[in-house]
Structure 1
Amino acid sequence: MNTPRFFAAFGKGDFIKYQGKRLGFWDVIGSGITPYGYIYSLAYQHAVFPDPTIPLFGDCGAWTYRKQDTPTLFQDIVDAQWAIRSYQKRLHPNQETYVTAPDHILFANLSRCQREARREFNWINARNFLELAKTQLPHTTPVAVAHGLSVCERIRAALDLIKLGYKLIGLGGLATIGNVSHALTIIQTVANQLHGVVHPQQILEPYECNPYKLTPFQRHAWCNKLINQLRAIAPLGAEFVILGGRQYYAGIIEPLEAAQLYTVTTPLAGLAIGRKMHWLKVNTPSFRQLSLGI
């Protein structure tokens, strides 16, 4: 899925809202409204879609059970196997279908134990759902949802899900934000993963990422990205001067110097914070404000 695709959502009454009116989803077929497909929730008891040419996107209904510590729908405990059975009842074998693994929304006002329990729920069910879908829903495309209380946590969750084997990732908890520009900022940040090389003229939004908290997989991906970016912008024989702690250059120096095409220096290596500040003050240009009295 390399181009944006719009899935129209409908709720309890199998309708969508258009120009202030409620239209049954079958009414919009051929009426000039052309969504790519339709998104539905397992929280609602919809009829089976009879037309296999319409792509469908199944959602597990996390918003409905958001206040429950143990997620349930229709008095059933929500887990990966329950979701697989529920999707099987609604889908046509040849239908283009995306199915979402069960997830649980994170809220800042939850206790620490509740948040950790929801993180564990999300990871276990994402893993189990992917394995079950391979054999029980082989014609579908599984989707996992990356949750987090910050942009950085969402990035880490998304990268872990990609490592697990997911090709499509959703961003969870956006319904609680209530600000479209905020949501788009999160999407852009996750899409870019970590920034890597940044040109002097480029302005960055705050992204709350700490290199000390990256998993080995995330760090390896970041190092490879950064090395490729440096090679793309620097001529052979260039010297890279890295002004940062070891976490910013470990795993980067060796590949750059391996072919003896570049040299890398780290003038701040081994210095205490006070000496680092002094070095930066002495060795970087400073600009003073000019004023003109009239």
Structure 2
Amino acid sequence: MLLLLGCSARKRHDTQPLPAILRYDGPLYQDLRAFLRRRGWPPALRIGTFSAEYGLIGALAPIPDYERRLDSERAAQLRSTVLATLARWRDLADRTVLVAGSLYVSSLLPALQAAGYSSVTVVPGAIGEKRAHLGRALQALPSVLQTRHDPVDMGRRTVFFPDWEDFLDPDFDFLTEHFSGPPGARRRVHAATALGEPISDGILVSLAQRLTHKGLLKQLDRSDPRSTAPQQLRQYYQLPDDAILFGDCGAFSYVEEEEPPITVSEAAFLYHIYGFDLGASVDHIPAPYLPLPERQRRLQLTLANAAAFLAEARHYGSFHPVGVVHGLDAADYARSTALLIEMGYRHLGIGGLVFRSDREIAEIVRAVAAVRASMRRRIWIHLFGIFRPKLQHLFEESRVDSFDTASYYRKAWLRSDQNYLGVDGRWYSAIRVPVSSDPRNRRKLLQRGIRPEDAVELEQQALRALVAYAAGEQDVESTLDAVLAYDSLIDRDDLARRDLRSLYRRTLLARPWEQCPCVVCRSLGIHVVIFRGGERNRRRGIHNTRLLYRQVRNGDQCFPADHE
């Protein structure tokens, strides 16, 4: 069902943009939100709003506050854009229900007919009759609310994989380097599920994606069909039923802003409709480089937001609210922890730790753990954005319950000497064979006067040499000669100071990919240690993360040296 509503004169006046369904606060919108709160967002429901300011837009499209009423002149101005939007929405549903005032109906109904909508129901009558009809139409839709997972029930430490659109093509051919199809038509699997076995206990998804053009929650134009309904995260990421969905606000993305761009009501609403198991309160990081008064203001704002967020979360009752803890020092973190527990939080997330040294983090964790130990109730504690291998003994002693980290995943391509984690617990350098057709590499080659065809020939010789070495058909030194002959063409300042031959020789002689039983290493062979393009690099990151996850699951406390 495509439900079309007129906008309402009554609005929420939050200064930040809000989804249209939250911005408008007339009786129909209040009824609609009450239904969604009780029943969740039915998969068959699409909602559009005819806004006097913005035209026909999706209910999830964020809009600023405004004051404008629809009149016949404004309706005529919007006609062409409304027709264009209806053309984009034609296949969203097999029937359309129009619930709006007479001027909205007289504008939308001819446009619906002109756009080819054949099954349109116009709800007649005064506002009371419209509300009753809307209620009956919504009640006929199935409920989708399900019991949300609580990591406390797992009885062990949990690890979350932070998502930032880490998808790969499962059918990529590493010999021909062909994808399964053109961009937009390729098969895609998420890094967290590509292995066929878990590499984490769930995914951490940031609502800050709504401020960007990347991710499931990314910014869309207001008339995009995807803004008419939420896509369920479990389906999008192809997660197993027991995986946990953890949402936060991505405070690092707006640390330079005066105020968080996400409101408390918006955060709670989005956690609810997207099916999150855990949702973090709206925080604002008191970064250490900020003036002291500003840091103190952010601490108070974070606590005030946490109180308001807990009330909103209880209003929905569908996800577990996580209170975000910040502080200027360990004592501040302890005070904030106590205040959040007094508010009623049973799940806490310690934020702002990325800025901190190991010594500072140790002090903070001890202080928070001491407060938690004094409480009668079980309090679950998550550390945002860090893992810190050297502190794992302390975290275990302090009963830290959970982490989110992508450090082992991203080291696959962000470090020159620690890209592949062997089952022996040692880091190995991946062997770089850059893609010569990459625009950046092509520019470098042209600047150095190297013909593209010469570069391609050396590139292919390097790849053939590595494959031959893995098959036992070529010795290590001649393989290195071929790799470095091509490698020397690409001027990379960050690697120029390193002895690449020694790093690469160590990797080749150890042949670590042969010792690992994971699907990535079994299927890719030596390609898993070739630093070349996203398909290889992401798979190497998956391999690294799998080993980290298995160590955590096994209760190990000795981890390879790492820098996050």
TM-score (norm 1): 0.54
Give matches, 1:112-131, under 5 Å.
112-131=292-311
Give matches, 1:34-53, under 5 Å.
34-45=199-210, 46-47=215-216, 48-49=232-233, 50=235, 51=239, 53=241
Structure 1 residues 158, 70: CA separation in 2 closer, same or farther (over 3 Å shift)? same
| 1:87 aligned onto 2:87 | no
Match of 1:66 in 2: 255
Greater Cα offset, 55-64 or 31-40: 31-40
Match of 1:105 in 2: 285
Match of 2:163 in 1: 10
Structure 1 runs (4+) deviating above 4 angstroms are: none
Q: CA deviation at 1:115?
A: 2.1
Q: CA deviation at 1:158?
A: 0.5
Which of 364, 369, 375 is equivalent to 1:191?
Answer: 369
Verify the 8 A CA contact 1:7 1:38 in the aligned structure 2.
yes
Q: Secondary structure at the match of 1:103?
A: coil
Q: CA deviation at 1:3?
A: 2.1
Paired letter, 1:102: V
Match of 1:155 in 2: 334
Match of 1:57 in 2: 246
Q: Deviations over 1:229-249 (max 9, x none)?
A: xxxxxxxxxxxxxxxxxxxxx
Instruction: Return the index of the structure with the highest Cα Rg.
Output: 2
CA distance, structure 1, for counterparts of residue 358 and residue 306 of structure 2: 27
| 1:142 aligned onto 2:321 | yes
Alignment RMSD: 2.8
Structure 1 residues 3, 88: CA separation in 2 closer, same or farther (over 3 Å shift)? same
Q: Deviations over 1:107-147 (max 9, x none)?
A: 233224322321221111100110111122x1211001110
Number of residue-to-residue matches in the alignment: 179
CA distance, structure 2, for counterparts of residue 27 and residue 67 of structure 1: 30
Structure 1 residues 194, 101: CA separation in 2 closer, same or farther (over 3 Å shift)? closer
Greater Cα offset, 182-191 or 144-153: 182-191
Verify the 8 A CA contact 1:69 1:114 in the aligned structure 2.
no
Match of 1:202 in 2: none
Q: CA deviation at 1:44?
A: 1.2
Paired letter, 2:269: R
| 1:167 aligned onto 2:346 | yes
In the alignment, structure 1 segments of 5+ residues that lack a partner are 17-22, 73-77, 197-204, 206-294
Q: Deviations over 1:262-286 (max 9, x none)?
A: xxxxxxxxxxxxxxxxxxxxxxxxx
Verify the 8 A CA contact 2:203 2:244 in the aligned structure 1.
yes
Structure 1 residues 182, 116: CA separation in 2 closer, same or farther (over 3 Å shift)? closer
Paired letter, 1:65: Y
| 1:28 aligned onto 2:193 | yes
CA distance, structure 2, for counterparts of residue 104 and residue 52 of structure 1: 32
Q: Flag the structure with more relative contact order, 1 or 2, with Cα contacts below 8 A and sequence separation at least 6.
A: 2
Paired letter, 2:364: I
Verify the 8 A CA contact 1:42 1:61 in the aligned structure 2.
yes
Structure 1 residues 33, 114: CA separation in 2 closer, same or farther (over 3 Å shift)? same
Give matches, 1:206-217, under 5 Å.
none
